[in-house]
Amino acid sequence: MNSDYNEKVKEMKKLAANIRINTLKSLTNLGFGHYGGSLSIVEILAVLYGGIMNVDAKNPHWEGRDYFVLSKGHAGPALYTTLALKGFFPLEEIYTLNKNGTNLPSHPDRLKTKGIDATTGSLGQGISIATGIAKALQIDKKSNRVFCIVGDGEINEGQCWEAFQFIAHHNLNNLTVFLDYNKKQLDGALDEIIKPFSFEEKMKSFGFDAVTVKGNDIEKMYDILKVPRKNNEKPLFVILDTIKGQGVEYIEKLKNSHHLRLTDELKREIEKAIKDLESEVE
């Protein structure tokens, strides 16, 4: 690997650490929130915003930009931190998360927050929005790319599967879909809610190219995404094998970490994790 590649990977790893640190700080400042699902998507956000997406923090609505839709909108805190670290708004603003008068509500709102392309939070709808954006770009013969993260609990919603069928049928290979496969949802373990099946096989049967990668493998994710899909290639579906609460061992081990209130014990464990992470990026 050449030095430029190695430096890019190093930068993305550092960005991921800073996203995790500051997401934890913003949620801890608030005192409650969606810790688990925010922490499981940190690395893919670092890859997208640190190495893949063509965006302009000074001109968020630039027509030449790539689009990102966080369909699992409850993970908004991680996205806000990412946008702040990339210069869309001051980092200090993350401490207004979900407070009166904030521009950073609990779930993304494109009318409030710079850099947000779609208002999400009603599960199943973000993937449909991303599909519509991708189809419009395809019709207009534009080269912008679209990226969307869906949750593994979210795809209990039938609307997701309608969107997947549409994507494959119209060969929207300008859209890459990521599944945050952290194996837990609001009501418990994923395999306790819906009988498990192979997401990779299912998406291939729909007409996607599908691949499974470790959700914290920044180098592998970057390699998969750095070259846009060619016209004759199928849309790409990436199953991210993640851990809910990634980076805080205490949260990782909880049976339910979808939404947590800050206890003294949780605060101590988070402070310990932040200290360890900060030592890594110094």
pLDDT in tens, 80-118: 999 999 999 999 999 999 999 999 999 999 999 999 999
Could you give the domains of the chain?
A: 3-280 (3.40.50.970)
Tell me how far apart the alpha carbons of residues 250 and 232 are, in angstroms, rounded to a whole number.
Answer: 45
Which of 155-194 are b and which e, b meaning 16 or more Cβ less than 10 Å from the residue's Cβ? Answer: bbbebbeebbebbbebbbbbbbbbbbbbbbbeeeebeeee
Phi, psi of 172 (to 5 degrees): -80, 70
Three-state DSSP state, 108:
coil
Q: If you average pLDDT over residues 66-85, what whole number do you get?
A: 98
**pLDDT single digits (tens) 120-174:** 999 999 999 999 999 999 999 999 999 999 999 999 999 999 999 999 999 999 9
Residues 6+ apart with CB under 8 A from 279: none
Q: What is the pLDDT of residue 63?
A: 96
pTM assigned to the model: 0.96
Task: Using the predicted structure, report yes or no on whether residue 269 has a pLDDT greater than 80.
Answer: yes
